[in-house]
Structure 1
């Protein structure tokens, strides 16, 4: 599928605060130096006519720090989480970008949707949207999930297995005394095509719209937004002189903290049973 990718460029940049590999580290997203909400101010579409979406990089390829958008903090910066649960709860929709280029935390990529995977168990479904960066060398050849199987044989199966096993691993660690981990061993992963994936994206986007407009109670989610890029007249639009905005620290890039060798490891997937 041909894309006019040269006209699709990201206008967002990260604002780094504190030392990477620490729980104080924050990555805000900004536009022309002004902070935006990672959750609420980045438009769903980069180019709606061509079906090109925006996605935010939380965990780049080949890294293992669990970086995730903060639901609770104003403007929803990306931060490192102390533990990971197997399933999300009111989080933004998870996206897995399969291109060759390694991104960086806080990068806003322009992507095309290829399909979706569902981690299924008896409690709920955890969606993982499969996309490719429109600038990737394979982007013109990938239009749907079947194209991934054709041009990248084995990738979807390996990704399925990775998500299934890593979900089990983290649930086992965080719920060691909880009998739910036994059922997680039987968690399955199913995949669906681009059409179905797009329907899920719009369904989740509609749920977000109810949240940001005040139709749904936010609970503990911060719905502060600054530039009304995506929603006009939202109930928590924050002006530049508001303390919530002025309290966002300026950029302060620091040397990354050392990583404990006990967690800086590679794990390889095999066919052995868990």
Structure 2
């Protein structure tokens, strides 16, 4: 199973979008149409890369847009970039999401005591390769961190690309501690502090900021897949999400989108144009004393 992307609009502007195609060249939703599993028998999952490592643009699957293209998050009309909070430069992993998952905003998690954040579950891919925006990879899950973001549960799955040359050596979260010393601690530090430059408080964590193991992570993913199944089966969109898809709903579903309808969505967007420069402020460093 292979996927391709089509860029529309001007990169680094409000118009920029990344749409997805399947192996037949038909437009699809990366949120709904890319399968959860790459290999269910081995618990190998698909991940859609939104943000390549070391970059700053806060890119994400547009869950409320038709066909859910990747786009840059916006705050007060401006494109969002994460600050370089010393010593971290941009995102410190390839960052993405697992398709066909959803953190239900009305479900209170029994472990965290908080409801979900209304998004697909996030993934930090720790392999040696810097991935590309829109790349769909297959990963082994190693563990998970439970971040509490403004009172919402926001799981962060730790995983590695199965095609990475190091993948054979990583099978659980303890392997990350052993083979990449300091990486997990830096991950907690990054998530704790990345919003502080925006004037927000440090994020908190369930389990005292400890990572849960592979089995716990896999069960968490399966749980959010169940929430997604409930979402996609409802006749009306929940939480403002756009559930249009081309292959997971039956023909009678209000969420069913034909190939021609999907193409019309993309055709209505701007053609891909010249890339605008990234603001120079994105390269600045933010320093503050840890609490």
Normalised-by-shorter TM-score class = 0.7 to 0.9
- Which of these residues, 30, 36, 51, is aligned with residue 28 of structure 2? 36
Matched residue, 2:227: 207
Partner of 1:111, secondary structure, is: strand
> 1:232 offset after TM fit, Å?
4.5
The structural deviation recorded for 1:18 is 1.6
Taking the aligned partners of 1:218 and 1:122, their CA distance within structure 2 comes to 20
In the TM superposition, residue 71 of structure 1 has moved relative to its aligned partner by: 1.4
Matching residue of 1:185? 202
Asked whether the equivalents of residues 17 and 253 of structure 1 are also in contact (C-alpha less than 8 Å), the reply is yes
SS in 2 for 1:29: strand
Partner of 2:276: 257
Answer yes or no: is the 8 Å Cα contact 2:237–2:243 preserved in 1: no
1:236-255 aligned at under 5 Å gives the runs 236-242=255-261, 245-249=263-267, 252-255=271-274
Partner Cα distance (1:52, 1:142) in 2: 13
Q: Is the 8 A contact 2:195 2:202 kept in 1?
A: no
Q: Report the alpha carbon displacement of residue 119 of structure 1 after superposing the two structures with TM.
A: 1.5
Alpha-carbon distance between aligned partners in 2 of 1:97 and 1:121, rounded to the nearest angstrom: 20
Structure 1 vs Structure 2 CA RMSD: 2.6
Q: TM-score, normalised by structure 2?
A: 0.78
108-117 or 80-89, larger mean C-alpha shift = 80-89
How big is the shift at 1:126? 1.7
Q: Describe the superposition over 1:229-267 as per-residue Cα deviations: whole angstroms up to 9, x where unpaired.
A: xx555431111233x542312894433211111123355
Are the aligned partners of 1:211 and 1:217 in contact in 2 as well (CA < 8 Å)? yes
Give unmatched runs, 5+ long, in structure 2.
Answer: 83-114
- The aligned residue for residue 13 of structure 1 is 4
Superposed, 1:1-274 pairs within 5 Å as: 11-31=2-22, 32-83=24-75, 89-120=117-148, 123-170=151-198, 172=199, 181=200, 184-185=201-202, 187-188=204-205, 189-214=209-234, 217-228=237-248, 231-232=249-250, 234-242=253-261, 245-249=263-267, 252-266=271-285, 272-274=289-291
SS in 1 for 2:41: helix
CA, structure 1 residues 30+266, in 2 after alignment: closer, same or farther (shift >3 Å)?
farther
Deviations, residues 65-90 of structure 1 (Å, cap 9, x unaligned): 01011111111000011236999731
Q: How many residues matched? A: 249
TM-score scaled to structure 1, two decimals? Answer: 0.82
